[in-house]
Structure 1
Amino acid sequence: MTLYNFMLNGVTVKMPASVEPTIQDIDAKASRDSNGKLHRDRIAVKRKLTVKWGPLTVSECSAILTAISGQFFSCTYLDPQDGAMATRTFYAGDRPAPVYTYNEALTTYVWQNIQVDFIEQ
C-alpha cells in the first residue's frame, strides 16, 4: 500500500522503486583561517533526488520522461528533513532509459532501471 503519491508537475506517476534525497549546502565561499577554523558563507540549502524506477510500460515511461522534459518541473515527494510531503522545483540530469525486455505475447516493450537525478532549482 502506497502511503503517499509521487507527483511530477501535479500529476501522479508510477511510484519509483527508490527515491534517495540528498540535502546539499550551497556555499558562496568557504575558507579556513590561519588557525584552521572554517568560515562559510552558506547561501542556500537545496535538495537532489536520485529517483529510480523498476519495470515501466511504454506509457508509464513516456509520462515520466514527458513530465520532466521541460527546463524546470515540480516534484512532490516525502522529504526526510521536513518530515512531510514537499513540492519543490527541479531540473533533470541525464535520463537513460534502457529497454528491459520485449514481451512478444503482449507485443510491448518494458523499460527497466530508469534513473534520474532531480536537482533543485
Structure 2
Amino acid sequence: MLLKINTVEIAAYPAEFSCTVLDLDDAESTERTANGSLNRDRVAVKRQVEMTFPPLPWPKMSKLLTQMRDSFFDFYYPDPMTGKYETKNMYVGNRPAPVALDGDDGELWWGQLSITLTER
C-alpha cells in the first residue's frame, strides 16, 4: 500500500487503515414519511479514512503531523469502491497522541496516534 500527502510519501504507515464511503444527503429534503418510507436527496458521495499508527519516535511523529498541518491537503490512497489509487482533497480532525514513553535509547516515543481524514 502506498500513501501520500501532497505527492510526498507519508512519514509513517498506519497499523490500521479503514476507508468508508459516505453518502451525504440534503438535510432539508431528506425525510421519512408517516409510513416509514424514506424520501432521499443524496447530494454527494465522499470518502473518510481512519488510520491508527503504532508508537512512533518523536521526530517521525512530528514529521507525520506536519504533513497534515494545512487546512486541506491532497491524500493519495487505495480506494475500495473504484478499485484503484485515488487522490482526494481531505481535511484532518483531532489528532490525539495519548501516551509519551521513553524508549530504551532515551528517545521520546508517542503512543498510538488515531486520525480521521474526511474528503472536502
- Sort the TM-score into its range (normalised by shorter chain): 0.7 to 0.9
Q: CA deviation at 1:34?
A: 4.3
Q: Structure 1, residues 66-113: CA drift from partner, whole Å, max 9, x if none? A: 11111101111111111111111111111111334202x523111221
Q: CA deviation at 1:33?
A: 3.2
Q: TM-score, normalised by structure 2?
A: 0.88
1:1-121 equivalences under 5 Å are 4-13=1-10, 14-28=12-26, 29-103=29-103, 105-121=104-120
3-state SS in 2 of match to 1:49: strand
Q: CA deviation at 1:120?
A: 0.8
Q: Give the alignment's Cα RMSD to 1 decimal.
A: 1.5
Q: Is the 8 A contact 1:99 1:109 kept in 2?
A: no
Task: Give the unaligned 5+ runs of structure 2.
Answer: none
Q: Aligned partners of 1:79 and 1:116: how far apart in 2?
A: 17
3-state SS in 2 of match to 1:24: strand
Q: Structure 1, residues 10-68: CA drift from partner, whole Å, max 9, x if none? A: 11122111111111110013113344321111000011111110021222111111111
Q: Aligned partners of 2:58 and 2:115: how far apart in 1?
A: 17
Indicate the structure with greater strand content: 1
Aligned sequence identity (%): 33
Number of aligned residue pairs: 117
3-state SS in 2 of match to 1:62: helix
